[in-house]
Amino acid sequence: MLYYTGRSVAANIFRIREKQLIREFLGIGGYVREPEGYMSWQHLTFVTSLLVVMAVLAVILGRKNRNRDEKTKNRVLIWSAVVIDSVELFKIVIACVKDGGLEPIRRLLPLFLCSIMLIAIPLAAFSKGRLREASLDFVLIFGLMSAVLGTYGAGQNYACYPVLSIDNVASGITHSVSGFACLYIATAGMTSLKKENIPITFAIMGGFCAAAYVANVTLDYNYMFLMRGDGTPYDLFYNLVNGSPVFYPLTVVGLFLIWIAVFYFAYYQIKRCRAAKRKAE
């Protein structure tokens, strides 16, 4: 009798502790733990582990599916789209639960720079024709950048929240999926980088920026850093144009478009050099 009572008490204590750990991970009632800090060993270990797993899986699956049909290749992208959007949706739901209302939705719309992948990866996975081709190129161009900057460069997140918390774990997973999709697309040979699709690639970025700007004006927010730098390197450009409400957003959008142009230019230069080398041989 005493044995079973003791085991029952131990089980209850374990369940209580388990609930406490879950609440602490989700940040319900606020985090008890202090943030380990940006560039702490905990931060670097966590994000490095994520990116190593991301890269290894992308290369293995990409090489495995490289010579298979497009439908088989695309299954991995479909799962990537489901995972990245499901994790982000879960994070938003938890934020609303913690807040006790829907206000967090206003500041968590998928209109941040890194949030483009929440839309671009599903576009690449589910669309057809030239839109699909341009979306695949878009993920290739921005996916790895999003993964690195959103993990190693997420100074604000890791300074505010513990490393093992819903805020940082969810963010780490979504950014890692972005990098995974980029590397998988490249390894599996799914990109075309056709010149005729370049305007569509530009249009994806332009449309996203336009939606972010409308949201900023309507909600008084700073999606895509179109209103101010907010502690990012964009502060340099914000100060350069004296915070102009016209020239600053144009500068930010212009930089995004320039990066797309540079990527395509570098690709075609390398392709031309390789062709010339083969011809010379």
For residue 4, is pLDDT > 60? no
CA torsion, ordered 154, 104, 167, 122, to nearest 10 deg:
-80
For residue 10, is pLDDT > 70? no
Can you list the positions of beta strands (E) in 195-234?
none
Distance CA 88, CA 115 (A): 9
pLDDT at 2: 47
Identify the band that residue 211 occupies on the pLDDT scale cut at 50, 70 and 90: very high
User: Residue 64 corresponds to which tokens in the numbers above?
Assistant: 């495995």
For residue 3, is pLDDT > 70? no
pTM: 0.87
Could you tell me if 150 and 168 are in contact, meaning their C-beta atoms sit under 8 angstroms apart? Answer: no
pLDDT at 9: 52
Q: Which residue has the tokens 């929240």?
A: 161
127-175 pLDDT tens trace: 999 999 999 999 999 999 889 988 988 877 888 888 998 989 999 999 9
112-136 pLDDT tens trace: 888 899 999 999 999 999 999 999 9
230: left (phi over 0), alpha (psi -120 to 50) or beta: left
Burial of 9 (0-12, 13-18, 19+ CB in 10 A): exposed
User: Residue 266 corresponds to which tokens in the numbers above?
Assistant: 């570098």
pLDDT at 8: 65
Report the Cα–Cα distance between both ends of the chain, in Å, rounded. 87
